[in-house]
Chains A and B, each alone.
Chain A
Amino acid sequence: SQQGEEDPQALSIQEGENATMNCSYKTSINNLQWYRQNSGRGLVHLILIRSNEREKHSGRLRVTLDTSKKSSSLLITASRAADTASYFCATGVSGGYQKVTFGTGTKLQVIP
């Protein structure tokens, strides 16, 4: 079963606008990751936030984590056409091998 659920399923914005995607999960986690997938390609890791962190930045990306609400958000600022892709959250639980469970993704379209 899927652990993470992204919301919205699809998002269409104009270039230069900000895009916000949300992820909710069900059980306690060790960390949460966001990945990007361009059409027909493999996933690319964007950012990892640990369960004891509340916010993390990487370039135009800002991720927040609220463990009390079991939710995370990914904000992409000043979006570009090249940001058009599907975005997945992935939750990891502690242990030697971390079984990562992916959500169903948010499909983002940035219109030039």
Chain B
Amino acid sequence: NAGVTQTPKFQVLKTGQSMTLQCAQDMNHEYMSWYRQDPGMGLRLIHYSVGAGITDQGEVPNGYNVSRSTTEDFPLRLLSAAPSQTSVYFCASSDRGGPTPYEQYFGPGTRLTVT
């Protein structure tokens, strides 16, 4: 299993540009989440999904959109990039059942810089 994969690893955007961060998991997990990590702030939840077609907002959703058309994929869209969105973005998947309930599996992260 590849686990959770994220692309790209690095991205530089200009203010106002849009882009999509890709996330995929091959563990058939119900739940998927997007976090951002800023220095000294820990991880903050942006959006999450409890299954295909079902998404909801987390702690810091403004400026981001998500959709989940399949169990495997959970892309994060930046609508109009702002310097405040410079951060490291992590995607994670988890399940409430199975051998490791609630354990989150993280992708390697995408380091985004907005100039």
On A, residues with C-beta under 8 Å from B are: 1-2, 31, 33, 35, 40-45, 48, 88, 90, 92, 96-105
Option from A88, A97, A105 in Cβ contact (under 8 Å) with B31: A97
A105 to chain B, nearest CB (A): 6
Interface residues of B in 78-104 (CB under 8 A from A): 90, 92, 94, 96, 100, 102-104
Residue contact A99 to B41, C-beta cutoff 8 Å? no
B105 at the interface (CB under 8 A from A): yes
A105 contacts which chain B residues (CB < 8 A)? 42
Cα A1 to Cα B107 with chains together (Å): 23
Given A43-B106, A88-B42, A102-B43, A96-B96 contact (CB < 8 Å) = yes
Interface residues of B in 50-72 (CB under 8 A from A): 50, 56, 58-59
Chain B interface residue count, CB cutoff 8 Å, equals 28
On B, residues with C-beta under 8 Å from A are: 4, 31, 33, 35, 40-45, 48, 50, 56, 58-59, 90, 92, 94, 96, 100, 102-109
A41 contacts which chain B residues (CB < 8 A)? 108-109
Residue contact A42 to B108, C-beta cutoff 8 Å? yes
Cα A100 to Cα B56 with chains together (Å): 14
B45 contacts which chain A residues (CB < 8 A)? 99-101
Given A48-B103, A92-B102, A99-B48, A42-B109 contact (CB < 8 Å) = yes
Cα A45 to Cα B102 with chains together (Å): 10
B90 contacts which chain A residues (CB < 8 A)? 42-43
* Known A41-B108, A42-B90, A45-B105; 20 more pairs at CB < 8 Å: A1-B59, A31-B102, A33-B103, A42-B4, A42-B109, A43-B106, A48-B102, A48-B103, A88-B42, A90-B104, A96-B96, A97-B56, A97-B96, A98-B94, A99-B58, A100-B33, A100-B102, A103-B42, A104-B40, A104-B42
